Amino acid sequence: MMNGKQKICFILMMITILFSFVFPNSEFADADNKVVSFDLMGNIDEWTVFQEHPTVPPSTISFSTEKVKEGKYSMKIMHVDGDSLNNYMQITRWIQIDTAQYGIIKFWVYGDNSGHVLKGWFMNEKKGYGQTLCWHRINWQGWKEFKISIAQKRISGIRFTIEDKGSDDIPSTATIYISGLKLINEISFLSSGYYDHNYPSNIFDKNLSTKWQPPASTGWISIRFANPIKATQIKLYLNTDLVYSLHIDYKKPDLDLWIPLVERIENFNGKVLTENFSRVEIKEVRISVDDCRWKHDRQRKEWVWINECSFEDKKPLSSDKDVAIHISDFLRSNSNLPYTFVSKLPSDFSINIDGDLKEDAWKYATTQILLSSYGNLPKNPTEVMITYDSNNFYVGFICYENNMSKLVAKHQKDGEALWTDDCVEIFISPINKRYYYHIIFNPNAKTYTGSFTQEVKKWHPNIKVASSINSQFWIIEAAIPFSTDIPAPEPGTLWRVNFTRDEKPGNELSCWSPTYGGFHKPNYFGILKFTENQSPISIKALFIRNDNRLKIKTIFEKSKYIFNILTDTSEIVTAELLEEKGKIKTFLSEPINEANGAQLIFTNKKGEIVSRSAVLKLSNSTIGFRLSKIKNYINETKNYLENRISDNTDKRLYRSKIKELERKIEQLIDESNEQHINTEIAKIENNLARIRCSLYAKKYNNKPLYGVGTANSLIKIDRNTPWLGNIGGPVNLDLARNEAESFQLVLWSFLKESLNFKIDVTLHHTLSGQVWPDKDIQIREVGYVKVLTRAASFSLKMDEYPDPLLSKEKYEVLPNKLTCLWITVKSQWNTPPGKYRGTITVTPSIGPETKILLNVRVRDWAIPLKKSIATPFGINPGMIEKYYNTKQGTEKYNKILNNLINSMMENKLDWFLFPAGHMQETIYPKVVWTGSELEVDYTEFDEKLEKLFSKGLSVFSVGLSFGCFPKIYRQDGTIEIKYSHKQFNETSKVLFQNYVRNLTQHLRKKGWLDKAFLYIADEPRSEHIKQIIYWASAVKEVAPDLPIMITTMGMEPLEDYIDIWCPNLAFFNSSECTRSLKKGKKVWWYVCMGGYKPNFIIDYSPIEHRVIFWLSYRFGITGVLYWRVNEWRGNPYVETGKYAGDGYLYYPGEKDNVVESIRLHVIRDGIEDFEVLSMLPQKCDNLRMQKQLDTIRTKLMQITKSLQSYSENPDDYINLREQIYEFLEKVKKSRK
């Protein structure tokens, strides 16, 4: 520290500087730059130093003139490694000024390449940690500049910490200089926040607010965002007026906004700011970030990353034309939401609400079609027609139905639950406030209305509605009156709207603007603009041709509009002027890409967008998609034929067969009979499968009686479709020690009768000859289940879905069906590393055997026995009793429960009995009331936990939900008392606290407290908060270190009471997660039910099960909870439930066994992936290896951008996994 003389010198030296910084608006301010700034160096006495371990050599801080980058002095910090990894010093300065006027904090750091860690924090008003300022290992020599935004919140202080390099390194001294540490109001460049490991990014919270005075010549404001934009809506306000409200696609590329600073810009309230075109005098610019996907327009906080925000001297807009063109460009390039206009009826036309839509007035209506809620073409088309006059907004629906006999129209009164009928719905947000109106009509012309703010409110407009039901469609015609709630729009007014349909016979949801699930998602509402005297555009129908080309039928007047079809955000594939009046048919000249889809855009001759559709996407069930896959397999077969078959006679024969298949495919392109197409495709697939198997058999000079294929574990195989995948082998597996990996063997017969097969797998070390143990190679047949209701439109489309894994000795292959075998190879902790080679021998009851080569590589490193991710998966004891006809406590029950638990542990799952109120002595120690105190016997409790810990159990639940605790017995063995959350009183609290105190002391003594968690409540509602706080406070009073966990579906974190926050994955909020992690809390998540992804649903792709654990690592989630693994509400082999497989990963087996599932094994693989990812080092000393590590992390972030934007291609994960395994092998070798 400085002595007295040094302090005096520095105080004198700082007087001028302090005046200029503390009084920025005085004559000492920089007149040229007009930069308001505040010097954070200040007097050294304003900084406080905290040393965690006073016994180690102290850190020192002083002012210095030795190394100065900016200003007259710098802060010199010297730090010596201590004897603990946690040894660090803190340097804190509290700021006694209003920081709202400052935009960024700027400073320079002189590094000495010491490897120490410099961390910086913003301190909030409560003098606690706020947002991270910086996190950098000092791995550079010389000066480095940092500029970080503080515009999103008020800052009360700043703190730096200097930490040791690490306990494995030789202690050393770090000397760091900080220079030019200032708060300034410059917003021209925003940079370098903290995101993930050593990957700096620009992070801003929900509201950015700062006052800017742009240069006089400024004409535009430029905002540059970085990918991914983790918000769904971004709003720009100028001088408190909303100028732009931009909806963001999570998968959108990097986004640059160029916003003109002119006064006459229509905001999304339909308001004109001024009538002239002089430049705006900007006093305040504010950007807000919203995500209101969940529940009823519920605002959520999310992150938005901004690279640059500056004023640009471009030519100002000066006319209506310029503004219109700019808005058109803006709409074209920055949103996938549908946008169209609605034209006002001529005064001499009127609409009579009679349910037939045949009046001439409807010719002035704009007509749009509905897509599925996920952007595909629905099987039951819907047209919506819209127009308006001075008094009403008119809407007509034509709902085509393939099965009119099953139309649901039960309700005969207004206000009833019409959403349980076939129905159409209208969502209107007329003035872009945080509410919207909701209208439902059923086929009986009955009406349900409501308005949505934070809660549902009653709203009863005087709507006129009529309906009609025909043989192929039903019609709704309605007039919605304008009122104070929904005022009559002026020309130019914009509404946020959506038109939807719930079709019951086919269980199909349709929307004008796809909502990717339920309809109540205002951020997905499309944009409707009201106009006068504009010729309407009508999109009457869309068709996907059998080659994935799009056919469109439209109606609009001659030469009014240019019609464009975009297949991505930039390339226009077709742009043609449609000159003839009347019905026009055209089609896209190129196939639609499955990932990008297509978008229909109409512009006028000036280039203004007047209408556009949502993005039309293809599903993997379309005929075009199936034909495309067949073409790919044909090309693979051609390559095999030309490169692997030498006999020219055979080549000519097979070329002829393949050419005939290609000819038949071309004949199907324009075929319209879907049943005939599917029949012909099945024949083509069968013939192609025979050709492929026959070619493979040529290698062995065999006539193909059967086929053998192989596949990895990340595809679900439809057993009713011919196999067109990989024929034969080899099978290559890559394993760490203590890891299991599965693959699939596919069998089929070309005979009319069934075939039986026997499978043998042998494997040995290529050098030592050591044989792989038989017990570590498991072969099971894949069973199939019927799914009556698919969970979502993106579900796999099959008649039967693979899931249960059945143990058999012989495997039967039926004609025209595939038999799939699930083969798992497991390495142990002590399995010798190296290469193993073996064979899979397939022996049929008729014909020659087939041998498939099996290659296994075992790495010279192991997945740790102690997991770093918690996986508490629940067991329902009642289901064991029900399906095995037994009772708790019996020998049979205990054996079944133990078999289930052993299987879970083998597959790296922790377990708990759920719900908490049903937990019995199996999990609790025995508690006896002596009359004056509680006596707890932990003997059996300890034995069970010690055994489970030895098998890899990482966490366990102590129960105690809502104050429930074990049965308390009298000394004679009878039950004394049993409490639940319904007994909400001080007596139960005292007993509860006595038990919690006793239990916590025991767990602490055993060293198990860090493995325990108290599951206080499951998905509580708002009325439960009082009870949660009551019981959580009761726990913290006697056991503050016992972690409390809660599961929730959107509730705000109770951070003062909860240690482990476990939201439903569908309600996960990344900003809340980041905040909780910074406060030292843990964050888990869970899935249940369906309709969203990723998830554990049977009809979802396997990658949706496995990617949850990749995303967990990506976002710092340290636990995945699942409510039950055996919730068999019906026979799970035939009754899969509304969301197939929700609540069970096992099937009841014969006798005392349980049956595992494909989903269980894929989840196990995901857990192992998480452990492998957690083994990646933070940094490598070797530059080449550091580059490889950076490449791995970059790829990881690319394929797991967010819950809404992650790769669904299994190859991306397989390839990255291989890179990681190679890298960890090198790391292991480098440490020897």
Tell me the per-residue pLDDT of 855-894, one tens digit each, with 9 for 90 and over: 999 999 999 988 999 999 999 888 999 999 999 889 999 9
pLDDT band, residue 912 (cuts 50/70/90): confident
Does residue 233 surpass a pLDDT of 70? no
Q: Return the pLDDT at 1116.
A: 92
SS (H, E, C) 992-1060: HHHHHHHHHHHHHHHCCHHHEEEEEEECCCHHHHHHHHHHHHHHHHHCCCCCEEEEECCCCCCCCCCCE
Q: How high is the mean pLDDT of the chain?
A: 76
pLDDT band, residue 639 (cuts 50/70/90): confident
Closest CA to 1109 of 1091, 1124, 1094: 1094
Q: What count of Cα atoms within 13 Å lies in the side-chain half-sphere of residue 172?
A: 14
pLDDT band, residue 699 (cuts 50/70/90): low
CB 718, CB 1101: distance < 8 Å:
no
pLDDT, mean of residues 746-762:
92
Q: Return the pLDDT at 543.
A: 64
Q: In this predicted model, which residue has the larger pLDDT, 403 or 272?
A: 403
Token pair of 765, please? 């070390």
Q: Return the pLDDT at 66.
A: 82
Q: Return the pLDDT at 908.
A: 95
Tabulate helix, strand, coil % of the chain (nearest 5). Answer: 25, 35, 45
Does residue 252 surpass a pLDDT of 60? no
Highest mean pLDDT among 160-169, 693-702, 732-741: 732-741
Does residue 838 surpass a pLDDT of 50? yes
- Could you name the CATH architecture of 625-862? Sandwich (2.60)
> How far is it, in rounded angstroms, from Cα 162 to Cα 78?
9
Q: Return the pLDDT at 271.
A: 37
> What are 160-193's pLDDT values in tens digits?
888 765 544 455 678 888 988 888 765 333 222 2
pLDDT band, residue 1102 (cuts 50/70/90): very high
Q: In this predicted model, which residue has the larger pLDDT, 295 or 795?
A: 795
Does residue 517 surpass a pLDDT of 90? no
Token pair of 248, please? 């963001």
Q: Classify strands 538-544 and 550-556 as parallel, antiparallel or unpaired.
A: antiparallel
Q: In this predicted model, which residue has the larger pLDDT, 1214 or 989?
A: 1214
pLDDT, mean of residues 554-559:
52
CATH 2.60.120.260 is the classification of domain 4-186: yes
625-862: same fold as 339-536?
A: yes
Q: In this predicted model, which residue has the larger pLDDT, 328 or 177?
A: 177
Q: Return the pLDDT at 270.
A: 36
Q: Return the pLDDT at 555.
A: 58
Among the ranges given (430-439, 497-506, 526-535, 1069-1078), the one the predictor scored with the smallest mean pLDDT: 430-439
Does residue 422 surpass a pLDDT of 90? yes
Q: Where are the alpha helices (DSSP H) in 269-406?
A: 320-334
Highest mean pLDDT among 120-124, 353-357, 661-665, 1012-1016: 353-357
CATH of 872-922+938-957+1015-1175, one of 1.25.40, 1.10.357, 3.30.300, 3.20.20: 3.20.20
Q: In sequence order, what are the residues at sequence separation of 6 or more whose Cβ sits closer than 8 angstroms to the Cβ of residue 660?
A: none
Does residue 60 surpass a pLDDT of 80? no
Does residue 723 surpass a pLDDT of 80? yes
Q: Return the pLDDT at 1090.
A: 78
Q: Return the pLDDT at 427.
A: 94
Highest mean pLDDT among 32-36, 483-487, 605-609, 1159-1163: 1159-1163
> What are 118-153's pLDDT values in tens digits?
888 777 655 555 566 777 778 788 898 887 756 445
pLDDT band, residue 197 (cuts 50/70/90): very low
> What are 15-40's pLDDT values in tens digits?
333 333 333 332 223 333 344 567 78
pLDDT band, residue 978 (cuts 50/70/90): low
CB 1194, CB 198: distance < 8 Å:
no
Does residue 356 surpass a pLDDT of 60? yes
Q: Return the pLDDT at 260.
A: 44
Q: Return the pLDDT at 225.
A: 43
Closest CA to 840 of 764, 762, 749, 758: 762
Q: Return the pLDDT at 718.
A: 93
Token pair of 345, please? 């009826």
Does residue 636 surpass a pLDDT of 90? no
| Domain residue extents for the chain | 4-186, 233-305+312-334, 339-536, 554-618, 625-862, 872-922+938-957+1015-1175
Q: In this predicted model, which residue has the larger pLDDT, 20 or 819?
A: 819
**For the chain, what percent of residues have pLDDT higher than 70?**
69
Sign for the CA dihedral angle at 382, 384, 385, 391 comes to positive
Q: Return the pLDDT at 20.
A: 33
Q: Return the pLDDT at 1079.
A: 84
Does residue 610 surpass a pLDDT of 60? yes
How many other CB atoms are found less than 10 A from the CB of residue 545? 19
Q: Return the pLDDT at 1216.
A: 96
pLDDT band, residue 592 (cuts 50/70/90): low
Among the ranges given (491-505, 915-929, 1023-1037), the one the predictor scored with the smallest mean pLDDT: 915-929
pLDDT band, residue 1021 (cuts 50/70/90): confident
pLDDT, mean of residues 922-950:
80
> What are 1129-1138's pLDDT values in tens digits?
889 998 887 8
pLDDT band, residue 807 (cuts 50/70/90): very high
Q: State the fold for domain 339-536.
A: Immunoglobulin-like (2.60.40)
Among the ranges given (385-394, 950-959, 973-982), the one the predictor scored with the smallest mean pLDDT: 973-982
Phi, psi of 1128 (to 5 degrees): -95, 90
Q: Return the pLDDT at 783.
A: 97
> How far is it, in rounded angstroms, from Cα 1047 to Cα 501?
33
Does residue 1003 surpass a pLDDT of 90? yes
pLDDT, mean of residues 381-403:
95
DSSP label of 125:
T
Residue 1200 one-letter amino acid = T
CA 590-595-598 angle, 5° bins = 50
**For the chain, what percent of residues have pLDDT higher than 90?**
35
pLDDT band, residue 452 (cuts 50/70/90): confident
Does residue 199 surpass a pLDDT of 60? no
Among the ranges given (10-19, 59-68, 474-483, 536-545), the one the predictor scored with the smallest mean pLDDT: 10-19
pLDDT, mean of residues 327-347:
69
Does residue 5 surpass a pLDDT of 80? no
CB 925, CB 965: distance < 8 Å:
no
> How far is it, in rounded angstroms, from Cα 1079 to Cα 1060?
11
Among the ranges given (495-499, 589-593, 1061-1065), the one the predictor scored with the smallest mean pLDDT: 589-593
CB 223, CB 246: distance < 8 Å:
no
pLDDT, mean of residues 332-350:
79
Among the ranges given (381-395, 538-552, 918-932), the one the predictor scored with the smallest mean pLDDT: 918-932
> What are 1163-1205's pLDDT values in tens digits?
999 999 999 999 999 888 888 999 999 999 999 998 998 887 7
pLDDT band, residue 563 (cuts 50/70/90): low
Q: Return the pLDDT at 101.
A: 59
Whole-angstrom CA distances from 664 to 550, 670, 721, 782 are 21, 12, 19, 33
